[in-house]
Structures are given as C-alpha cells and as structure tokens.
A and B are shown apart, each in its own frame.
Chain A
C-alpha cells in the first residue's frame, strides 16, 4: 500500500552536481557574444542613466521629483536624468531602453519602489537592452521615503541623498554573470493535511517525484476530523479519504509518515533535506491493521483526533481511514519508574495490566526482569516510587505493594502457571553446552543462573549453607518476608532445566589448593566461567571490650540463627535473648534484629545509634514499624564497653555524642562529648554495625574495604573467566540492585562465552522524571493512594507477616492511579498479540537525506484553545465546547456516533454559538480566522437538523464571503436560527443550565440567555512546531506566526527563500476551497521551477584576492556553509571559495583581516562610496 520503504528516487548525477562541479554556463541573453558590442561600454567610463519614478502620485505626491532629477543631473558620469510616470510599465521601460541605445548608457539607476519589488523587472529590461543586468542600482523612494514622510524640503532632500548615493555606487558596479546549476527534479511537501495532499497530487500528476513528510502517523490533517463542509454540506471524509488513498497509491509519491524535517542544506533547485523517521515501533508494511494489538493494550489516553472526548490506546491508529493504514505506538520516553528500577522492571506495564485485572500477565511481565516478585514486593526500597510522576500530584503509585499483589496472586493461583513461569524467559541457545559455576545462591547468584540457563547454559550453584537464597533467606526475618514465598520463588529458579544446586558445599576462594575442599581453582578448571556471588555474611565488630562475651551477637549472626530455627535447620546454638536487649546500629538489619528480639521474648529492646534519627540509614517506614512495636531509640550514644556480671552481659557503657560537621557521606559526623558516659543495664547485646566479605585471602583481586574488585560495567574480576557481583562487590545493598547487577554480570558472562565485546552498547546514564516529553494528563482521577492493611503492633508477637497486602479491588484501584506518563507502558502485550510480528519496541529514530529541487510547506494550523478566556469557562463547565469538538460529536464515526448530545447523553434544547472567540481580539488573536462564521452557520444547521434545538448565534459581523456562502447564511436564517448582534461577554452556570450574557447591539441593551450547551467558535493559530520548522528551513514568519509570503499580493505562495513555497493555512487562515487553490498554486510555482533544466544562482557571492590573502582561515571559521577552504597556491595556503556553496551573506568579507575577500555587488568600495555620498551630498546642500 504505502511506499515508506521504497528506495529514494535515483538522482541522475547529471542533474545534481557535486559541490564545485557546477557549470558556469551563461543564459542565452548573457552569453559573451551578446555582450561584445556592449563589452566596451561596460568597461568604459561609466555612462549613467538616472530615472526617477513618480509612481503616479505615490512618489510624486510627496517628493519633488523634478527637483531630485535636477539635483543629480549634474553629478559626474550622469548622462541622462529623467522622470517617468510609471517606470515599471511598458512605456517606462521602453523609454529607458531607447535611452540606453541612443546615449550608449552602460549603467542605470532607477529611483522608484523597493528593489524587493521590481529589481527583477529592471534587470530583465537591462538584459533585453544588451546591458549586464547587474549594472543596475535601485533607490527606494517609495517605501522608504514618500510613503512614510510628508511632503517637504526634508523629504525631497532625503530622496536626493538616496539617488545620489545610488549613482556613486552604480559607477563601481562590475558586470556579473549568474551561475547556472541543474535542478533536482523532485519536490518535498511538508505536512499531509488537505493542502499537502493537494500539492503532492498536483506535482505527482505532472510527473514530479514527491516526498510527502507528515509528522503524525497518518495524513489527513484537520479536514479528516470534520463532519460536513460548508456551504455544500459535503461529507468531509467522503471527499478527503479518496484523495488520501490516491496519495498512498500514486507511483510518484513517497509518503514519509511519522517523520519530521530535521535539517535543510543546499539552495533553490538543489536542496538536501534530512528527514527524521520517528520510531513507529510498528512495521508499516507488515502491519495488517487487524486491531488485535489494540484489544490487549492496557493504556488509555485521550485521543487527539477526538479532541479528548474519547480515549485511545497507546498503540493506535488516529482514525479508521488512516493512511498509511497501520498502527503506531505512542511512546513518551522511558517511564521514570522503569528507568529508576535497577533491575529494569517494566513497572508502568505491570501496573497498567493490574489496572485491567490482568494479574497473570502482570506477574509474567515482572518475572521477565525480576526473578523474585514476591520478595521484592515486600522488601524493596522502591526507587520507582521516588521517581513516580504521580507524586507531583499527590502521592506516588504504590508500586511495591502492587508487585506484591501480583506475586501473591501467582502464589494463590498455581493452576495459571502450569509451566514454570520463568521458562518463558528462554532467550536463545547461545550458551548451549557451556558450563558455568555459580558460588552462592543468594539473589545475585540465582539471577545469574536464571539468565544464563535461559540461554541454554548448564549452571551449577554451590551454596555453603544448608539452605538456598542467601541473605534473603537467612538475613530477613519472617515477619517481613514469609518463608513460603521465598521457597516458591527460589524453587521457580532452581527447578529450571539446566540449573543444579549443591547445598552445604562451601567453595574456598583461597589461592592455596586444599585437596579436600572445593576451591575456585578447581571450579575454573571444570567450568567455562565462574560467577562469585557470596554476599557479605560476616558481621563487623566494634573492637570494644566485652564483645566476645556470651550474650553478645552480631546482627547478621543473630538473624541467621533465628532463621535457621524457622527453617528447621539445626546448626549451632539458637540465640537466647534476655529481658533487656540492646541493638547497636542504625541500619535495616538493626531494625530487623530489634523486632526479632522482641518476638523472641525480650521485654525491652533499645536501639543504640551514635547519630540521630535523621541520619539513620534504615528506611523510614521500618523505623516507624519498630517504634510502633515499642522499640526504644537511644540516639547520640556509642558503646564503649560491654560489661559482664559473672561471665554474662549485664550492662553496656556508652559514650554520649553530639553532631559535628558533615562527613563525606553528607551526614553530620558524631563527636564524643568528653567525660559524658552512661551505663545502661542490658542482658543481651546485638551488634549490627555493618557487614564484611566472609573470606579472608582470596585468589581474585580485592578493592577498597575488602570487597571483590570488578570492572564496574562488566563485573569481570581480575581473572577473565571469573565474574562477581552482588553484596560481595558493592557491600550490602537492596535486592533489586543486586538483581540489576546480576543481569549485567550474566550478560557479560554470555558475551564472554560467545567471544563478544563485553562493553559494546552498554547503556549509560538513566532518564528521570525530569526528562521532558512525558504525557501530561489534563485531568486525573483524584483517588488517594490505597492504604495497605497491616496487623496492629500489639498483635505482632509472632513471625507472621506484618503487612497483609492489597485486596483485588484495592490493587485495581491503586493501579488505576498511574498517570501513564510515558504513554506506552511497555507491557509488551501487543508483541504477543501481533500475528505478523510487526511490533518492535526497541526501534529508534532514523535519519534519511533526500535531495529535492523545491519544497512546499503545508504545515497547517491548530485550533486555538480558549482556556485562557476564563469568562467562557471552557474546561470548567462541561457543556462549553469548541467548534471542532462539536464536529466530532456530529460525525458518525465520532464518540457519540453522530449524535449531538450533552455529556449526560440528552439532546440539548437550546444552544448558543459565540463567534470570534479569541479572534479579532487584541488580547489573543488580532486577526479574523475567516472560517469561524461559516462553520458556526454549518454547526447551527446540523444542530437544528439533528436535535431540533433552538440555536442562537452571538456574532459581531457575519463574514460570508465565498461562493455560495451568503446563500447558505440566508438558508440558515430561514431555518430558524436566531442571530444576536453582539459579542458574548460571559458564560455562567445557573441551576442545571448555562447562562450567556451579551449585549444586543441592535437593541442597545444587555441580554441574558439560559442555554443547555455553549459552542465557542474559536479561530486558528499556526500549527505547533511552525516556529521550529521556520528555523530549520530558514524562512520567515509574520507577526502572528504564520509563514510570510514574499509579497502579500503578487507572490502569495512564495516564501522569502527561493525554492520554498507555502500552501494553505500555514501562510494564513483560510477555508478548504481557498486552501486547495493555494496548494495548487504552490504546486504550480514549484513546477515552474522544476520544469527548468537549470536554475540561476545569484552571482553576488564572495571572491578571494589570492595575492592579498594571508591564509589566516578566519573566513573558514565564520562561514556557515563551508564555502571557503584553504588551498595551496604557489607554495602558500590561501582561501578558495566554492562558488556552489557560497550564499553571498558576506560574513567572511566583513571578517577578513586583510580585506582580501570581496562580495560581488556589495564590495567595500561600493558601500563606502554609498556612505560617503549619503552624508556629503546632503551636507553640501545645506
């Protein structure tokens, strides 16, 4: 259907010269032989003819034209000086041509209107008279003198100055010969609304290859949204969609949808346009538009096409008749929650799936990146919630609890997961036959094993303890993490094919080989790679007296022993706690130890911390849980000694502290208060002040603080085949971070075993919620964050869980709070749903360079948003609509299937239409938008027809200027529509209705009218992004932001840049017939250019005097086009200008230190003589 992937039109090398390759061919009239008779004249002493135009009375009415002629007629070189009535007219030109012949004139000064108006006319006249067209100077006596000054001496004197300066300057002119460059026979049309469609079809019909660039996924523009078109009441879609299909099927048109112009190089006839092909994530050629993806997409955001009155999914097609008829995915960057997740969980995706009650899919999606959903759903420090953009509105989405809900659902619905869920993660068989040893079965070891097994590797896990799971199992107490969840999630992994688990099998990392023990050395011999994930299972000690006493534990050891008892593992003595327990430390382990001690029967548990609560590294919510359970906090105290009484602990002596200056971590450093100590009676002391690697001397390198040293990106150790990650590398961190490093380590191992580059393409940096471009909902559901239920502190005396989790209703309600800020949630459901495999979520923008000879801008308009006019209450009162919204209501394919009804579904009984909303208004748009009167009349007709409601139009003037428009106005009046002449002043609510206040200027009195519905006839503004497009294409815009035409009357489709044309509403507001006319006119102008074999390039460009050039290269630096380069000439470097690239701006000329560059037609001498004459001549007069 579409030709998006069609090869670019082959460019005939003959037609498109390489820079510097351009031919310097003179036009027939400019060929040297034609000048032979005049050659001598051109080079001889200047013989100047001066012609002062009266322009009827335009100039002569203000400037004393005869006096000007008289004043300059005696100037040197002036042979003839005359005035004409109209110099631009045939007789005017003829008289000059006769003078040229009779008086052998070789230079001409015309003093008339702006050179921007008629310079071309007189150049052509000189050419016809055999004089080089560049031996002309135009003095602007109309726009710059007569039209802005009143008649008088000063005005005439100014005219004399300008003419005199032109005479001096023209004497210094040299004949110039424009370069001729072949034209690339192709055009680009920017914008695929009706204007762009029309222009493309016209050009294509004439045989020109056309590239139609449309930034939306479909062409059609605003016209596709309309219901009927005035005044004929044609169905808009019926007349537009056939044209859209023509575009798609025309062999000469290449449709580049979902694309934007990125950059423009080149010049008239020879443009090089760089087009950004935005990632669509759906292969246009493969997509069959079957709609299966839409059925599974969980994201609903307002449809732009329906003006927000209906929703669409993130994978979408703007409307049913879209061209190309293919879907696209709306992505607004990576969701901040996903970006923040160290494990890369598709957070927005699983939240969106939960919101739809699709719990199995949600669990499967979490499982893709997080092997422990239930564990992570309980103990994660959830950086995703910190980044959640809902937090800017009220509170973040409870992502962690939602993940827990999905995991709990999976736990209670095993029948839904008949196949082991982790198996689907099978990515390939890269590692078939490879054997990897994994030391440690903690979260990192299990993650690595799962990732590698998914690539068909054989993994053997060696675990020193009699249980798997590492710190998840032995470090976290049951009231935080139930054992049955752990068991399930660990089993899900170790039961995978390809994974073998050896419990109670310690591996020595020591370099010396001990024949009886399993060693790293042996594993390296037996396996292709080894992964070390041994965690940090040794508690740090303070080194104070009494630390070795009975009744003193390290926090890690204490929790491990308690967990062993719960796992029915008999290993060493079970910890006993006394009545009074002190826990030293401020981290999460300290909190867990304290709450565990309380559950073991301690009557009074105190946490002793050397700083204050603000500096505690433990999570806030955990500190609160502990406080709720009656755990005491003793801040600013540091143990000095554990005191024994009869061999067991009796007290702890602490140093009182105060906070000093911040340390390197930013926390205030505690300092001892000399002499201030306190002794607290205690029966048990648990030291929870940090963890260490549980290995002393190891074979691989260690870094700071004894952790294993690895490459921070690849996790490779000092031995190429040994990788390490997790707590053993980073020190204790949370499970989600450990899983993240596990994924990266597993990928490195995969690459290592496949012989690939380890570092290639690794992602650097993360996006955050500050990243621009996120979808910003206009309104959001204000439901507050769901509260998770938990057991009261008083009941929490066992190791059952504190938190009870969400109910299904709560989970769905909470998930619905997600703002879908990245639009597509990347739940990947569409990938599975797509039968033809057209969807690729990893697609990226690509760039394509296209060579064209002409460009037509047809970027269209936007409907003005009347929200700023608070008096009308748009966006506040639901029954206030804009005209385009009513178009959608009236359209049979719209949200109400063509019924014009209120939000409650009922037909209105009386409707007010307010004209000129924001238009003809100095506070908003000063201009008339031209379409609003007529569409208001059309809407009035449609409302009468469909609802029989009374319609009242509040208008200032009715502008029914087009063919059949006045008749339509007449018809609507006869249909019973009421017209009140006066602008609507205000809309206010009253009871169930709205009241329109206005002044009836015919009656000369204020009126108030209760209505059911108010329609605001808003005008049009330049389309969003028009400013950016103007900058990229170097074209100018008018004061209202519309593209500026070269001349308001005579060149309405030319921009100020040669070869770039304007079509439709991008230039000014206009209705459909005028837009189509304008577009065809632009196409005709472009055709005029493209049908010429060559285009003449202005000869007013830079040239280097190589003798004077010192080769300083300043010109090279300032030139925006790279025209000058340094080249060798007779042994030294001098600047050379590539004439094909030079645009004649003169930057290099003004910058040249040695005055070695001249700008033809604007040389220093010419301009200096002009300055001198302007000033001296007039002073002489005085």
Chain B
C-alpha cells in the first residue's frame, strides 16, 4: 500500500433520498474527501449487480450504493430489493477473492447531508485501509479482465 494511495470510489445514489442528501451536504458545505464520483440513478433498486462488477473491473477501489431508508422508498420497495440483492453480491465478491468491504450499501435520506458526508468520509478511509483494487493495475494496463477470465 503506497502512502499516497488515493482510492477511487463510485457511488450510486438514488435520486429521491441519497442524491438529494448529497446535494444537501453540498449546500451545507459539509466537506468530505474528493475520492467519490457520484452517479445518479432513479432508485437504489435500479443498480444492476453488473454495474458493481463493471465498476470494480474498471479499477474502482470501492463502490457505494445509497438509497432511501427502509419504508421511505419513493418507489415503495426498491431499497428492500437492493438490500437483498447486495447481501448476495457481498458473497459473490468474497467468492471472487475481493474484499467484501469494497461494496457498501447504506441508507441516506434527503435531509441527511451530514450523514452523507460522514458515510463518504468513513468509507473512503475504510477503502484506503483495504488498499488498491487488485484489478486496478490490469485495468490501467489495458488488460481486459473479462476476456482474461473467459480465456
């Protein structure tokens, strides 16, 4: 682990709660590390497991999926489905030899700007401690991991 290791993190945030929470963190100037890149999705239930796999294969060191609190889902039950999906996803990561902590699922409401900034800060620190994604080097050197696996 190099001392200057800056993890790259992709966050999938639902439009109604978590993305609004991230906006509120911005409006309230609640700073957090620059490492996270946010992708807006309609619902945490829209996040296809494929996106998580793709993100890690492309070299991200951590993936966050943030949705509405249980019971608060704008689409009634999308976050429940996301939760079920990602408890299975953790096992897939374990199976493929990646640290399961690289995938983080949590609930951040539209009013929780502070929580969002705390979540990002602590997850960044966690991923920093885990170290670089082993697939990152391959991604950087242009090796197509999928092709390598299938060959």
Contacts and interface: CB of A to CB of B under 8 A. Distances in A.
A114 B74 CA distance: 19
Interface stretch (A155-163, A778-786, A1002-1010): A155-163
Nearest to A152: B34
27 contacts: A144-B22, A147-B29, A148-B31, A148-B32, A154-B34, A161-B37, A165-B39, A1036-B16, A1036-B20, A1036-B72, A1036-B74, A1039-B111, A1120-B75, A1145-B78, A1146-B41, A1146-B42, A1147-B45, A1147-B78, A1150-B47, A1164-B48, A1167-B41, A1167-B51, A1171-B39, A1175-B10, A1175-B55, A1175-B59, A1176-B58
Interface in B1-33: 6, 8, 10, 15-17, 19-20, 22-23, 25-27, 29-32
B50 to A, nearest CB: 7
Contact of B58 (A140, A158, A1171): A1171
B38 interface: yes
Given A1171-B58, A1174-B37, A1044 B43 contact: no
A1150 B85 CA distance: 10
Given A1056-B20, A1175-B59, 19 more contacts: A114-B19, A142-B26, A143-B22, A147-B29, A149-B31, A155-B34, A1034-B75, A1036-B20, A1036-B111, A1037-B111, A1056-B74, A1118-B45, A1120-B75, A1145-B42, A1145-B75, A1150-B85, A1171-B55, A1176-B139, A1179-B59
B110 A1036 contact: yes
B107 to A, nearest CB: 12
A1159 B29 CA distance: 33
A1175 B23 contact: no
B112 interface: yes
B29 A1120 contact: no
B126 interface: no
Contact of B140 (A114, A162, A1171, A1179): A1179
Interface string B101-132: 00000000111100001000000000000000
A1150 B65 CA distance: 14
A116 interface: yes
Interface in A1149-1182: 1149-1151, 1159, 1162, 1164, 1167-1168, 1170-1172, 1174-1176, 1178-1179
A483 interface: no
Contacts of B112: 1039
Interface string B59-75: 11000000010011111
A1118 B81 contact: yes
Given A1044-B110, A1145-B46, A1172 B58 contact: yes
Nearest to A1042: B111
Given A115-B40, A154-B6, A1175 B58 contact: yes
Contacts of B50: 1164, 1168
A1144 B19 CA distance: 16
B77 interface: yes
B74 A1057 contact: yes
Interface in A160-199: 161-162, 165
Contacts of A249: none
A1100 interface: yes
A1171 B51 contact: yes
Nearest to A161: B37
Given A114-B23, A143-B23, A1174 B75 contact: no
A500 interface: no
B47 to A, nearest CB: 6
A711 B57 CA distance: 69
B151 interface: no
Interface of B: 6, 8, 10, 15-17, 19-20, 22-23, 25-27, 29-32, 34, 37-43, 45-51, 54-55, 58-60, 68, 71-78, 81, 85, 109-112, 117, 139-140
A150 interface: yes
Interface of A: 114-117, 140, 142-144, 147-150, 154-155, 157-158, 161-162, 165, 1030-1031, 1034, 1036-1039, 1044, 1056-1057, 1100, 1118, 1120, 1143-1147, 1149-1151, 1159, 1162, 1164, 1167-1168, 1170-1172, 1174-1176, 1178-1179
A162 B8 CA distance: 13
A148 B58 contact: no
B51 A1168 contact: yes
A140 to B, nearest CB: 7
B75 to A, nearest CB: 4
B75 A1147 contact: yes
A607 to B, nearest CB: 60
A158 B34 contact: yes
Contacts of B26: 114, 142-144, 147-148
Which among A142, A147, A1034, A1150 has the greatest number of chain B C-beta atoms within 10 A? A1150
A459 B3 CA distance: 99
Residue among A116, A1034, A1175, A1179 with the most chain B CB within 10 A?
A: A1175
What DSSP secondary structure best describes chain A's contact surface? helix
A1038 B110 CA distance: 7
Contact of B39 (A1030, A1034, A1174): A1174
B29 to A, nearest CB: 6
B63 to A, nearest CB: 10
B133 to A, nearest CB: 10
A412 to B, nearest CB: 61
B72 A1031 contact: yes
Contacts of A157: 34
B10 A1174 contact: yes
Top 9 A-B residue pairs of the complex, sorted by shortest distance between their CB atoms = A143-B26, A1146-B46, A1145-B75, A1038-B111, A1120-B76, A147-B26, A1147-B45, A1145-B43, A1150-B48
A1143 B39 CA distance: 20
A112 to B, nearest CB: 12
Nearest to B50: A1164
A781 to B, nearest CB: 41
A114 B50 CA distance: 26
A1037 B78 CA distance: 18
Given A144-B38, A147-B29, A165-B37, A1145 B111 contact: no
Nearest to A1100: B42
Contacts of B6: 154
Contacts of B71: 1031
B45 A1145 contact: yes
Given A1056-B16, A1167-B41, A148 B81 contact: no
Contacts of B37: 158, 161-162, 165, 1174
A1103 to B, nearest CB: 14
Contact of B54 (A143, A1031, A1144, A1171): A1171
Kindly name the residue among B34, B38, B47, B58 whose own CB sees the greatest number of chain A CB atoms within 10 A: B34
Given A148-B31, A1147-B45, A1170 B39 contact: yes
A1162 B81 contact: no
Nearest to B120: A148
A1155 to B, nearest CB: 9
Nearest to A1178: B8
